[in-house]
Amino acid sequence: MASLSSKRVYRTVALGAITALAVIAIAPFFMDIYTTNILIRAFYLAALVMTVDILWGYTGILTFGQSAFFGIGAYACALVFTHYGFGPLWAIGALAIGILAALAVAAIVGWLAFYHGASPLYASIITLALPIVLVQLIFAGGRWTGSSSGLSAFPTYYWSTETWFWIAGAYLVLVTSLGFLLVRSDFGRILVAIRENEERAAYLGIPISRIKTGLMMASGAVGAAAGFGYAAFTNVVAPELGDFLLGTELLIWTALGGRGTLIGPVLGAIGIDVTASYLSGTLPFLWKLLTGIAFVVVIVLLPRGLAPILGQAIGFVIPPLRRKPPQSAELVPADWRPIAASFDAPPLKIDELICQYGSLRVLTGVNATVKGGELLSIVGPNGAGKTTLMRCVSDGSERTAGRVYVQGVEIGRGAPQSIVALGVGRSFQNTNLFDTLTVAECLMLARYGVDGAPMFARRAEIRMPEPALDIMRATGLDKVLATETGSLSHGMKRGLELAMVLATEPSVLLLDEPTAGLTKAERTAIGHTLKRLTDEYGLAVVLIEHDLDFVREISSRIVVLHQGSVLMEGTVEEVVNSELVRAVYSGEQVEAVA
C-alpha cells in the first residue's frame, strides 16, 4: 500500500538514477583518463560520505570513524588477494569478509556507543577511537598488513578504466538511490525524529539503540564495500584509508555539501576531491588552509551547508528537483480494542517510590495504585514532585529506590521504550515536539511500536485509534496533516501530543498538564476523550493537573502530593472539600492542619 507520495519518491529516484547512470555510461568517452581515474576514487569516497550524511546529517550521530569501515573493506580485499588467493570466488569471499567484519565492528561500536542514556558526545568518542585503534592494528601487522607502507601490486582485475568507472559509478548511484529512498521513507522520518528529540522518540516506544546500531551496521557495510572497490581498483591499500584524518575529512565534505541533504554531500565529496586533485598538487598548504577556513565558516554561519543554496538555484532551472510540499498520508481508524478489565494485577502500582537528586529528595516514599478504568488525578503545588513521579514511572533509570509495576511487571531499570512496550504512554508538559516533522509524520512515528515503519516507502494510510482521531478533530489537527509541527498553535501542539500518546495504544496513560493554556472548548473535548478512554477502553489514566475544576469533572480519585509525599488521597468530593487541600493551595500552614 505504497502512498502517492511514496510513488512520487520512487519516480524521482528512478528518474535521477537513470539520468545519473546514463551520464556515467557515456562520461568516460568525453573525459581524459586522469579525470576518469580521479572520479572513480571520488565515487567510492562519495558512497562513504553518503553514509556519514545518513548517520550525522539525518540521525544526528556525529561520527569520526566512518573511514574505519572503508579501511576494513579495503584491507579485506588487499589481504585476501595478497596472501590467500585471487579469482572470482576469492573476490566474492573477500568482499563478504570485508562486509562481515564491518558489520561486526559496527555492532560492537553500537553496543558501546548507543546504550540507553549514552550522551551523543560519548558516541562521538567511540567513533573517534575506532579509526585510531584500527590504524595502530594495521601498523602492528608487520608484513601481513604491510604496516605503514600498506600493500600494493596484489593481483586484481586489470579491467579498463572505463569498466572501473562504470562499476564505481553504478555502485554510487545504487547506494545513493537506496539512501534517498531510506531518508524519504517513513523510517527515514524516524531517523529525523531521533535527531530532533531523541528522548521524546524513546517515549513513543521507538527502539533508539537498536535503530542506531542497525544504521551503523548498514553504513559500515556500505562503507566496507566501497573500500573494497577502491582497493581493487587502485591496487593499493594504506593505513590512511582507515584513519581518523580521513574520517574528519568526510565530515568536512558532508558539512560543506550540506548535511541532511544526501545529494549535497555526495556531490560535495566528488567536487572537493576532484578539485583537490587538480589544486593540491600545486598549492598543498594553501589548499588545506582554504578548506579549513571554508569549513569553519560553513559550520559557524551556514550550518546547513552549501547544498540548500545551490539546490534552490537549481530548483528554478529543473523543476522536478524542487522539493514539493510533502503529500500527507490519510488517517484511518485503527482497531483498538478496549482492554479487558480482568487483570489480576492493577495496571499501575507504585510502591515506596523514592527519588533523590544529590542531596535533594524530591519524592519520599510514594505509594499509589491505579486500576483499569480509573482516572487518578495528582494535584499539588509547584515543586511537590508531580512531574518527577511521572518520570520515575516511565523511565526505569530515574528513581532512587522503590518499585513500579506495570500490569504486574516490575519495570526494573528499563529504558523508556521498554516501558512503553509494557503499555505506558506518557505526555509531556512542554510542547516541544519534532519541529521539522509534519503532523502526519509525528503520528506515523507514534505508530512505530504498533505498525512499524517501512524502510524504503511511505505509507498511504496511518491507522489511528478512535479516541486519538477525536482529539485530532476537536483541535482541528485533521485539517493540517501536512503542516510542520513547529508552526502549529499551542492548542494544536497539545492536541497532537495527546494524539501521539494515544496512537501508541497504551493501557496506562500518564498525562502531564494536558490542558495547560488551552481554550475552554479544547479542554472540554479533551475531558470527554479522557472520560471515554477510562469508561469505554478501560485505560488507567494518571493526570497531573492544576485546574481543580477540570480535575473535579473527570477524576475517579485524587491524590494530593506535597513536598514529595502523598498528603491525602480520596474521592473528588473528599479532596475538594478538604481543609487541608485548601490550605496547601492557599499556602497556609500545612503541618498544623495535618
Q: What share of the chain is helix, strand, coil (3-state, %, to 5)?
A: 60, 15, 30
How far is 280 from 548, CA to CA, in rounded Å? 71
C-alpha span between 458 and 186 (Å, rounded): 5
Does 291 help bind other proteins (rule: CB under 8 A)? yes
Q: Based on the shown chain and the rule CB under 8 A, indicate whether residue 284 belongs to the binding site for other proteins.
A: yes
C-alpha cell recorded at residue 158:
586489470
Q: Apex CA 397: angle with CA 392 and CA 401, to 5°?
A: 65
- Among 4, 18, 148, 409, contact with other proteins (rule: CB under 8 A): 148
Nearer to other proteins by C-beta: 464 or 558? Answer: 558
* Span 362-401, contacts to other proteins by CB under 8 A: 381-383
Q: Which is nearer to other proteins, 144 or 535 (CB)?
A: 144
Q: Segment 340-359, which members bind other proteins (CB under 8 A)? A: 358-359
Quick check: 191 and 210 in contact, CB under 8 A?
A: no
CB of 587 to other proteins, least distance (A): 4
Nearest CB to other proteins, comparing residues 347 and 416 = 416
Which region among 131-139, 177-185, 437-445, 528-536 touches other proteins (by CB under 8 A)? 131-139
Pick one of 20, 214, 546, 569: the residue that binds other proteins (CB under 8 A): 546
Binding residues among 151-170 for other proteins as defined by CB under 8 A = 151-153, 158
Nearest distance from C-beta of residue 150 to other proteins, angstroms:
5
Listed ranges 47-55, 144-152, 183-191, 326-334: which one lies at the site for other proteins (CB under 8 A)? 144-152
Contact 254, 53 (CB under 8 A): yes
Q: Minimum distance from CB of 17 to other proteins (Å)?
A: 26
Instruction: Provide the minimum distance between the beta carbon of 181 and other proteins in the complex, in angstroms, as a whole number.
Output: 27
Q: Which of residues 485-544 bind other proteins (CB under 8 A)?
A: 486-487, 489-490, 516-517
Q: Please report whether residue 551 would count as binding other proteins according to CB under 8 A.
A: no
DSSP H helices, 455-571, are: 466-475, 490-503, 520-535, 548-554
Interaction residues for other proteins, span 444-473 (CB under 8 A): none
Minimum Å gap between C-beta 33 and other proteins is 4
According to CB under 8 A, which one of 22, 92, 289, 521 is a site residue for other proteins? 289
CB nearer other proteins, residue 181 or residue 246: 246
DSSP 83: I
d(CA 71, CA 74): 5
Question: Binding string, 175-214, against other proteins, x = CB under 8 A?
Answer: ----------------------------------------
Nearer to other proteins, 75 or 180 (CB): 75
Q: What residues numbered 13-42 form the site for other proteins, per CB under 8 A?
A: 29-35, 37-38, 41
Nearer to other proteins, 118 or 170 (CB): 118
Counting contacts by CB under 8 A, is residue 221 touching other proteins? no
Exposed / middle / buried, residue 243 (Cβ in 10 Å: 0-12, 13-18, 19+): buried
| 586 near other proteins, rule: CB under 8 A | yes
Q: How far apart are CA 48 and CA 224, in angstroms?
A: 9
Looking at the Cβ atoms of 120 and 570, the one nearer to other proteins is 120
Residue whose entry in the numeric block shows the C-alpha cell 552549501: 306
* Strand-strand pairing, 236-237 and 151-152: antiparallel
Grid cell at residue 283: 598549492
- Report, in Å, the least distance between residue 405 CB and other proteins: 27
Q: Under 8 Å CB-to-CB from 548, ≥6 apart: which residues?
A: 379, 576, 585
Which 8-state DSSP code applies to residue 154? -
Q: How far apart are CA 205 and CA 189, in angstroms?
A: 15
Among 5, 431, 475, 555, binds other proteins (CB under 8 A): 431
Q: Rule CB under 8 A: is residue 594 a binding residue for other proteins? A: no
Please check whether residue 460 is in contact with residue 4, taking contact to mean a CB–CB distance below 8 angstroms. yes
Alpha-carbon distances of 58 from 179, 189, 190, 589, rounded to whole Å: 11, 9, 9, 53
Within residues 223-282, the interface with other proteins by CB under 8 A covers 234-241, 244, 248, 251-252, 255, 276-277, 280-282
Closer to other proteins by CB, 319 or 587: give it.
587
Q: Are 127 and 65 in contact (CB under 8 A)?
A: yes
* Burial category of 119 from C-beta neighbours within 10 Å (exposed 0-12, middle 13-18, buried 19 and up): exposed
Q: 37: buried, middle or exposed (CB in 10 Å: 19+, 13-18, 0-12)? A: middle
The interface mask with other proteins, positions 43-82, x = CB under 8 A, is -----------------x-x--------------------
Question: Which of 166-174, 414-422, 484-492, 496-504 is the region at the interface with other proteins (rule: CB under 8 A)?
Answer: 484-492
Surface-to-core class of residue 414, CB atoms within 10 Å of its CB (0-12 exposed, 13-18 middle, 19+ buried): buried
Q: Kindly tell me which of 369 and 565 has the beta carbon lying closer to other proteins.
A: 565
Minimum CB–partner distance for residue 34 and other proteins (Å) = 4
Of 86, 115, 343, 405, the one binding other proteins by CB under 8 A: 115
Instruction: Label each residue of 401-433 as H, E or C.
Output: EEEEEECCEECCCCCHHHHHHCCEEECCCCCCC
Rule CB under 8 A: say whether 316 interacts with other proteins: no
Q: Give the number of residues in contact with other proteins, rule: CB under 8 A.
A: 97
